Amino acid sequence: MLTSDVIRAVAQQMKAAQDESRQISPFSAQIEGFDLASAYAVADLIHRGRVQQGAVPVGRKIGFTNPHMWDRYGVREPIWAYVYDSTVVHTDGKLRPCSISQFTEPKIEPEIVFHFHKAPPLEPDLPSVLECIDWVAHGLEIVQSHFPGWKFEAADTVADWALHATLLVGEPQPLRRLGIGVIDDLQRFTVDLSCNGVLRERGVGANVLGSPLLALAHLISVLTRQPQYPPLQTGELVTTGTITTAHRVQAGEVWRTDLHGIALPGMAVEFVS
């Protein structure tokens, strides 16, 4: 891992780019040895600074859980970051506007969001993880890149908030409403992602590391190997990564999702400047 002085300098540069909505050269191209451990240390410094400024962490996001995107973006494993009360928006799933004027090269990702009513075990299996979840929702995460052209290495994305911009959370559904076959349904369900009435892509739950639940288990396992960061806590939500590839969005577009094979309603969002 890089020295503390270098990590502080990178954190200052990264946070300034995020706050000013501007793009910078990837750190992996600037600094020899900029690795994942250094990047998580950078992200943690930025996180602590945001909390000191009043941001309230409400959960985590998992990024790059769709292996179909790995070659395109030069990554080889999922990543995680905090999300905050200021970046998570709870909706009823109906058409709503979303301003993207402060986002850099934004893209849309349909996801599954889980909420924990108690902390999950540190050595999870899927039934034990389910026991800790009280509601499930469909979500749309808007991601962005502060590195031009979405060109980066995995460590760059960790430093850059795991590319998070905002998370729109649809109507939460009690876990029991999804039925006794929810483990299989989360693997097999499909989502249609459309823009201005034209289908752009159909994704399946298995695209997310085999299942959004498996993505959750992966995050729990990663955090056990990172004891310097807190494990998942009671009251946190986790959005588990995109079911389709990420699609670029522009002001004036209306995007919709329709889910099949699982008792979760679709969503709609209109992007404005």
Q: What is the 3-state secondary structure (H, E, C) of 15-84?
A: HHHHHHCCCCCCHHHHCCCCCHHHHHHHHHHHHHHHHHCCCCEEEEEEECCCHHHHHHHCCCCCEEEEEE
% of the chain surpassing 70 pLDDT: 100
Structure token digits, residue 118: 């108690």
Q: How confident is the model at residue 14 (pLDDT cuts 50, 70, 90)?
A: very high
Q: Residues 64-92: what's their mean pLDDT? A: 87
Q: How confident is the model at residue 68 (pLDDT cuts 50, 70, 90)?
A: confident
pLDDT one-digit tens code per residue, 17-46: 999 999 999 999 999 999 999 999 999 999
Question: What's the CA gap between 222 and 60, in Å, rounded?
Answer: 13
Q: Residues 127-141: what's their mean pLDDT? A: 96
- Residue 75 pLDDT > 80: no
Question: What's the CA gap between 61 and 46, in Å, rounded?
Answer: 16
Q: Residues 221-238: what's their mean pLDDT? A: 95
CATH 3.90.850.10 corresponds to the domain 58-272? yes
pLDDT of residue 223: 94
- Residue 12 pLDDT > 90: yes
Q: Which residue carries 């050595």 as its tokens?
A: 123
Q: How confident is the model at residue 93 (pLDDT cuts 50, 70, 90)?
A: confident
The domain limits of the chain are: 58-272
